[in-house]
Structure 1
Amino acid sequence: MAEQSETLSDLPLAFSIPARHARGRIVRLDGVLNEILSAHKYPPLIEKTLAEALVLAALLGSAIKDDEGQLTIQAQTEEGAIDLLVCDYKDGALRGYVKHDPEKLAVLPANATLFGLFGKGYLAITFDRKVPEEKGSGRYQGIVPLEGDSLCSAAEHYFVQSEQIPTLIRVAIDHVDGPDGPRTVAGGIMLQHLADGEEGRERLHVRLDHPEWEHVSILAGSIKPQELTDSALPLEEIVWRLFHEEDQVRISTASRISKGCRCDPVHIRDVIARFAADERTEMAEDDGNITVNCEFCSRQFPISLASFDN
């Protein structure tokens, strides 16, 4: 185990256990999570669901090595209280939002199931990586039904079905009182069996019951929810508690996570300028502004119609 540092919140920690052909990530979201949630003022059940999705996005997105890569998680249905949930992660920047039906939400219990929230829906996980043009598209998307007890369960199913990688994901969410008032803390851990074994050995990813995977998944599954959400507990300490009996555990940190809405008034104006003058006139409201809403940061951007050259 590497020497401990104080990795507490908003900084993902990667780890690997070479002898067990396992790799993982662990993250705790605190300041950045509350910055994202405070922009929306969602009901508690929606906040909890979005917090879980943001942790998933941080766990998956922080594994993208190049600076131009993006991870997007989208859960969608036409039947449930939640119509659409979107989160994405790009170069350390995390953002997300939820569209929901207040009337359907009002009749759900506080501990509503995944099916109660979404009904019959699907989970789409998209990886966009920057690759040379001659190598084709760097986009890969997997879609699975929204099944199981949580978004984590659906994500585990995604990796088993779409990528054939045995995966364990655990997420915990807590509400705590701090000097600045109540806040939400969410943490998660993801453990995976490496896709390939050593040369000459069977391909490990086709065996969910491989003894090495069973061993490390049991250890990772023993994590307590309060460990993930304790903002005073270093992530290195959690990894040590889980895997201290292993011969070697390698750890490293990824990019620090920040709230990342990429809306930009200049860019928005440039996009609107591509429309014909008569189309822009139809977009404008009575005050002479074209108002663009950003769902991610809950902000409105009024662009004056008079600022365009006809």
Structure 2
Amino acid sequence: MSDTIQRFTFANLPIRGEIISLDHSFKTIANQHQYASAQRQLLGQSLAATALMADIIKIEGKVALQLQSTSAVKLLLTECTHQGYIRGLARLDDTKTSDVLNFQEWTQGGQMAITIEPNQGKRYQGVVPLENAELASCLEDYFIRSEQLPTYIQLFASDDKVFGLFLQALPGNSQDTTTAEEKAEAFDHVKTLAQTLTAEEALELNHQDLLYRLFHQDDVTTYPEKPIEFQCGCSRERNEKALATINPEELVEMVQDSGGQIELVCDFCSNKEVFTEQDIMTFLSNVSPSDSIN
């Protein structure tokens, strides 16, 4: 299975869709941490959902999905850029998880934040409570509230594969003669077909076979697949920028107290950058006053 996302539309129905499959990228991300099987599945669902949103929203920038709760999920964060680069991490209380994913129990008392961060323009964040039994239904509620458009999402994950399907009614325009009742019937029709999909089919079939299996009675147009891959984005330069936010005197004291070097480890990919005391002194000599907090 390749790591791709693909858009599709219906010739005679006012509905758009996206379909995604993750294999190598998901395993790369999940294998960087010692997640149990059910935890991997939750992370995989979140990765697929975030990539779907990034492709649907169509901005040049980044979309992030964050879950936090007072229960098992202390933090789950997944991100996807418009180029299709994904990364993610999960911090869970192992004493409150089990061998079977129980989303509602794991996220009890929690909230979901969706952050849209364009390269140019204003950052936007929407926050909603986690009140449903599955991540997919929480996301459906978010889109219905934010865009007022009927939305249906399916997410399936095993230990090493992930699948996602997104269906949404198209917004109307001045030339649209379709009645509200006709639009509702069309969406119910497509949703009913999508609900027949099994986890086994979702994780094993390729996109073309799966779309034919679901919607062969409708006229579906598919568009070129877009690759999805893991890319963290962490770098020594970014770590230097983080260090620049620390008071220089405190930074020098930190490196001395740490035995002559500071180690910064990326939470996403576990990449480690080491800054020696000499590195810090050289770094500080090149930092302008405006780069640090005094």
The CA RMSD measured in Å over matched residues stands at 2.2
Which of 193, 216, 219 is the equivalent residue of 1:219? 193
Query: What letter corresponds to residue 271 of structure 2 in structure 1?
Result: R
Is the alpha carbon distance of 1:271 and 1:203 closer, same or farther for their aligned partners in structure 2, counting shifts above 3 Å?
farther
Q: Which residue number in structure 1 is paired with residue 230 of structure 2?
A: 259
Q: Which residue number in structure 2 is paired with residue 169 of structure 1?
A: 153
CA positional deviation for 1:168: 0.8
Q: Which residue number in structure 1 is paired with residue 268 of structure 2?
A: 296
185-194 or 286-295, larger mean C-alpha shift = 286-295
Which of 53, 71, 77 is the equivalent residue of 1:80? 71
Is the alpha carbon distance of 1:172 and 1:112 closer, same or farther for their aligned partners in structure 2, counting shifts above 3 Å?
closer
Is the alpha carbon distance of 1:140 and 1:254 closer, same or farther for their aligned partners in structure 2, counting shifts above 3 Å?
farther
Deviations 1:35-70, CA, capped at 9 Å, x for gaps? 01111111222211111111111221223434x321
Quote the Cα distance in structure 2 between the aligned partners of 1:276 and 1:141: 30
Aligned length: 280
Quote the Cα distance in structure 2 between the aligned partners of 1:282 and 1:222: 62
Query: What letter corresponds to residue 18 of structure 2 in structure 1?
Result: R
Which of 2, 21, 27 is the equivalent residue of 1:9? 2
Query: What letter corresponds to residue 49 of structure 1 in structure 2?
Result: L
CA positional deviation for 1:227: 1.6
Which of 53, 57, 63 is the equivalent residue of 2:50? 57
Which of 108, 127, 132 is the equivalent residue of 1:119? 108
Q: Which residue number in structure 2 is paired with residue 286 of structure 1?
A: 258
Residues 25-44 of structure 1: matches in 2 within 5 Å? 25-44=18-37
Deviations 1:165-193, CA, capped at 9 Å, x for gaps? 21111111224xxxxxxxx1111111111
TM-score, with structure 2 as normaliser = 0.87
Quote the Cα distance in structure 1 between the aligned partners of 2:143 and 2:53: 11
In structure 2, stretches of 5+ residues that fail to align are: 286-294
Residues 57-206 of structure 1: matches in 2 within 5 Å? 57-66=50-59, 68-77=60-69, 79-90=70-81, 91-105=83-97, 109-131=98-120, 137=122, 139-175=123-159, 184-196=160-172, 199=175, 201=177
SS at match of 1:250: strand
Q: Which residue number in structure 2 is paired with residue 242 of structure 1?
A: 214
SS at match of 1:12: strand
Seq. identity, %: 29
Deviations 1:280-306, CA, capped at 9 Å, x for gaps? 123324321122221111233221121
Quote the Cα distance in structure 2 between the aligned partners of 1:259 and 1:89: 9
Deviations 1:88-146, CA, capped at 9 Å, x for gaps? 001210000011223333xxx32342232121111111222344xxxx52x33222211
Is the alpha carbon distance of 1:144 and 1:273 closer, same or farther for their aligned partners in structure 2, counting shifts above 3 Å?
closer
1:15–1:250 CA contact under 8 A, matched in 2:
yes
TM-score, with structure 1 as normaliser = 0.83
Quote the Cα distance in structure 2 between the aligned partners of 1:45 and 1:283: 39
